[in-house]
Amino acid sequence: MSYEIVSNGSSNDTTHESRADHTSVIDIYPLSCYYFGSKDAIPFKDETLSDRILRMKSHYAAHGLRTCVEAVILVELFKHPHLLLLQVRNSIFKLPGGHLRPGESDVDGLKRKLTRKLSLNEDGDGVAWEVGECLGMWWKPDFETLPFPYLPPNVKQPKECTKLYLVKLPVSRKFIVPKNMKLLAVPLCQIHDNHKTYGQIISGVPQLLSKFPFNMIDS
Amino acid sequence: MSYEIVSNGSSNDTTHESRADHTSVIDIYPLSCYYFGSKDAIPFKDETLSDRILRMKSHYAAHGLRTCVEAVILVELFKHPHLLLLQVRNSIFKLPGGHLRPGESDVDGLKRKLTRKLSLNEDGDGVAWEVGECLGMWWKPDFETLPFPYLPPNVKQPKECTKLYLVKLPVSRKFIVPKNMKLLAVPLCQIHDNHKTYGQIISGVPQLLSKFPFNMIDS
């Protein structure tokens, strides 16, 4: 089961608590520590697959390898870590994030994307996003291929690289999600190895997190 | 394809080269940098599955949760990273490693196991094993279940924990492998997502390594 957090303007309760960070331990706060609301829809590029490939090719010709940065954000529910995912058009699940602008740093780009998709306004409601370590990287050797967690042999010019970053939540935050997206908290035990529903990158996240001890904080 | 390195006393060539380590970059040296030989077979516990379960239960009753430590060791071949795996009885693939003794530390236990399975004598031919960071952990909720990369909800007393550690090779080393085991170098692109052949833990190793830039050093 996954738990829908935000869809068309529903909102949850908030509680607060403070606690120091531990090195290499991930503190996870209950879902109920956060406030969830919605904002105006953001436009999707509504295009055919062939138009999309054309757009990717012309972007590659102009700027080379494209980097996509995505956030791994956890909350606690029923004493088990849950991953925050965005759902678009009731189908595709996505980690919050997106493509970097040419020349933009990973951290700056990820903060910009998180603010666009999860915060009310451009300064992120005054609460900065804490972008932590890179957990993994996936490479697309071509525009239409599946991604691989390594650069395949003989691939000299990969077309896209997706980098996953751990983003640690503070004890309290407002999430404000565009009306045309749903924010979901999905338990790691449902995501693990579930390629079919979540795709290769998301279904591998529980493994990438497995080295961390979790410190689940009661509210 | 995988490349068999040692089986019944075959051996390869050696070349040497020196190079400083980079933080968070993994230096990988060509397979040809290492010497491979063989030594006397080590005894296997030849037992039925039910005997094995009985032995695991009595160990758990006496010592509680059992920890298994395993090494992720890489070499370069055809400009692609290859993972060192041991093969037993021409079937099961294993990462080099094994169970800790009660009270033994992860690092001490892994060094002991690596020496037993990959070195000539107890002091590892004078070359210490460099045990690096923990890459991932897998939990078995019960004696006969599959492992999970998290502690499943409602599991209070896991029976076994397998921890994967990155072990960085120096530019030169002798590997001396028991005659009843094969040492193989298997390309990451063959292992990735190949549960059927390598099992869940090994087939996830390419993902766990994906955050590292590899520095492949020409010999």
* Beta carbons within 8 Å of B161's beta carbon, 6+ residues apart: B65, B66, B67, B68, B137, B138, B139, B140
CA distance A208 to chain B (A): 6
Distant-in-sequence, close-in-space partners of B169: CB < 8 Å, separation ≥ 6: B29, B34, B73, B74, B75, B130
If you average pLDDT over every residue of chain A, what do you get?
A: 87
Query: Is the pLDDT at A122 greater than 70, yes or no?
Result: no
pLDDT in tens, B149-180: 999 988 999 999 999 999 999 999 999 999 99
Q: What is residue B5's predicted lDDT score, i.e. its pLDDT?
A: 65
Confidence of residue A180 (pLDDT cuts 50, 70, 90): very high
Check pLDDT > 70 for residue A71. Answer: yes
Kind of pairing, strands B92-94 and B3-6?
Answer: unpaired
**Helix extents (H) in A75-184:** 106-118
Instruction: Choose the mutation target among A210, A212, A216 for the interface with B, i.e. most B CBs under 10 Å.
Output: A210
Residue A176 pLDDT: 94
Distance separating alpha carbons of residues A208 and B211, to the nearest angstrom: 9
CA B22, CA B20: separation in Å to the nearest integer? 7
Is pLDDT of A53 > 80?
yes
Confidence (pTM): 0.88
Residues whose CB is less than 8 angstroms from the CB of residue B11 and which lie 6 or more positions away in sequence, other chains included:
B35, B36, B37, B38
For residues B198 and B87, the answer to whether their CB atoms sit within 8 Å is no
Task: Please check the confidence at residue B125 and state whether its pLDDT lies above 70.
Answer: no
Reported as a pLDDT band with limits 50, 70 and 90, residue B52 is: confident
Residue B126 has a pLDDT of: 62
Res A186 pLDDT > 50 = yes
- B78 vs A contacts (CB less than 8 Å): 153
| CB < 8 Å to A206, chain B | 148-150
Question: Which residues in chain A are closer than 8 Å to B208, comparing Cβ atoms?
Answer: 136, 207-208, 211
Average pLDDT over residues A70-78: 97
Question: A181 vs A110, A118, A144, B142, CA distance in Å?
Answer: 18, 10, 25, 39
Among A103-112, A138-147, A149-158, B114-123, the range scoring the smallest mean pLDDT is B114-123
Which of B5-14, B49-58, B117-126, B186-195 has the lowest average pLDDT?
B5-14
Chain B CB within 8 Å of residue A204 CB = yes
Q: Which residue has the tokens 């697959």?
A: A49
Q: Which residues of B touch A210 (CB under 8 A)?
A: 136-138, 149-150
Distance from CA of B84 to the nearest CA of A (A): 17
What's the rounded mean pLDDT across residues B7-22? 35
Residue B58 C-alpha from the chain's centroid: 26
Q: Point out which residues pair with A98 in neighbouring strands.
A: A69
B137 touches chain A (CB under 8 A): yes
| Beta carbons of B210 and A79 less than 8 Å apart | no
Q: Do A150 and B208 touch (CB under 8 A)?
A: no
Which amino acid is residue B2, in one-letter code? S
- The residue among A89 and B92 whose pLDDT is bigger is B92
Is a pLDDT exceeding 90 seen at residue B195?
yes
A14 burial class (0-12, 13-18, 19+ CB within 10 angstroms)? middle
What's the token pair of residue B212?
Answer: 């590292």
- Which residue among B80, B134, B152 places its CB closest to the CB of A211? B134
Distance from CA of A210 to the nearest CA of B (A): 5
Answer whether B145 touches A (CB < 8 Å): no
**Mutation target vs A (from B210, B211, B215; most A CBs, 10 A cutoff):** B210
Do B52 and B159 touch, CB atoms closer than 8 A?
no
Are B189 and A153 inside 8 Å of each other by CB?
yes
Q: Do B153 and A187 touch (CB under 8 A)?
A: yes
* Torsional class of A156: left (φ above 0), alpha (ψ -120 to 50), beta (otherwise): alpha
Which residues sit opposite B185 in a β-bridge? B3, B84
Residue-averaged pLDDT of chain B = 87
pLDDT the model gives residue B3: 66
Cα(A177)–Cα(A180) distance, integer angstroms: 8
β-strand pairing of A66-72 with A160-168: parallel
Closest CA to A147 of A88, A215, A70, A47: A70
- Give per-residue pLDDT as tens, A2-32: 666 655 433 333 333 333 333 489 999 999 9
Give how far the C-alpha of residue B215 lies from the chain's centroid of Cα atoms, to the nearest Å. Answer: 21
Question: What is this model's ipTM?
Answer: 0.86
State yes or no: pLDDT of B8 exceeds 70.
no
Cβ contact, residue pair A207, B204, below 8 Å: yes
Buried b (16+ CB within 10 A) or exposed e, B80-114: bbbbbbbbeeeeebbbbbbebeeeeeeeebbbbbb
